[in-house]
A and B are shown apart, each in its own frame.
Chain A
Amino acid sequence: MSWLPEQAPGSNPLERVYGLRPNLFEAWRDFAQLFWEKRLLDPVLLELVRLRVAQMHQAAFPLASRRPEARAAGLSEAKIAELDHWWRSPAFGATEQACLRFAEQFVLDAKGMTDEQARPVVQALGEPGTVALVEALAIFDGFGRFCRMLEIEPEDA
C-alpha cells in the first residue's frame, strides 16, 4: 500500500494513487491504452517489452498484470517465464530479441543506444513501428519507476 497519507477512491492501488490527479490520470491512460487499442505494435511484442521493463524495475504492480490482447495473440505463461533470461532462451525470435535488447538499453542508458542496437529494430519494425516502440518504452519505463517511487503494489503483495 502506498505510503502517501491520502488516497483517491478507486478499485485498485493505481487508481487510488494516480486518481488523486484525475485529469492527468485520464490523459495518461488515454495515451497508454492507444498502443493496445490501435495495435500500433504486435501485442505479443509489446507485452514482452512491457514485462521486461517491469522486471528491470522490480515493479510488482505492472508485473502482476497481463494484457488480454497479448494472451489472445498467443503469448503463454511459459514464454513469459523465459523472459528474465531471454538472451539465452530459444523461445524468442530475432525481432523479439532485438527489441528486448533495445528496451534494456533504453531503460539503462538511452543516450548510450548504438546503431548496432537500433538497426535491427528499425529493419524489423519499420520507421513507424520503431517510433511506436520508443513511445511505448517511455510509458513502461516511466510507469515502473512511478510505481516504485509511490509504492504502488498489487493488493496481495
Chain B
Amino acid sequence: MMPRRLRVVIAEDAAIMRDGLTQILTRRGHDVVAAVADPDALGQAVSGLQPDVAIIDVRMPPTYTDEGLRAAQSVRRDHPEVGVLVFSQYIEARSATELFAGTSGGVGYLLKDRVADVSDFIDAVARVADGGTVLDPEVVRHLLSAGRRADALAALSPREREVLSLVAQGRSNAAIASAFTISPRVVEKHVASIFAKLGLIASDNDNRRVLAAIRYLEP
C-alpha cells in the first residue's frame, strides 16, 4: 500500500534540522507546507494551511524552555484533526504524559535522536497524521522502570513486558507480531493477558489501547 501524501508543518528553530527534515520528508513524497521557527508562526501555519501533521520541537523561542510543548497543546485543542508530533532533546516522561492527557490519538512524543533512523521516523509521522499514537521507547522504558506500578508489573512475564512496552510505544498488533516474529493471534493473547493482569479494559482500537496503557503507567 502506497502511503498517502502528507501535508506537514515543521516548527523547529535550528535551520539545519528544519532543512534536513524538509529534505527527507520531501524525498518520500510528502509536502512540507511550512517550516517555521517559532510558536506564533506555527499557530498561523496550522490554522492557515490545515496540515495533516505538525512536527514541533520542544525548545523554541523566546525562552527555549517548553514553548513547543505549549504550542503543541494549543494545536491539539484548536485543531484536533491535526496530528502533533513533539520531539525533544531530553526524555521528560511528565511532558509526554501531559501531552497525551485528554487526547484520543493523533499525538506523538519522540526523542530528537530518532530522526537518525529516518524510515522509522517518517513512519511515526505518518502514524500520528493518521490519528495514531507514538511514544518514544526511552520514555516507555522510564515509565516501566519508574516503579510506580512495580507490584502489578511484576506479575507480567518477560515477554508480556516487552509486548506492553511496544503497546505503549503505539505499535499495532501487526507491528508487534512482526517485531517478535510471532503470529498476530499470539500478540492478541498476550495483550489480553496483560490487560487482565493490570485490570485494564481491553479495546479493539489500537489507539485507545495505547492511551490506556500510557495512562496506567504515567506518573
Q: Do A and B bind each other?
A: no
Binding site for A on B (CB under 8 A): none
Binding site for B on A (CB under 8 A): none
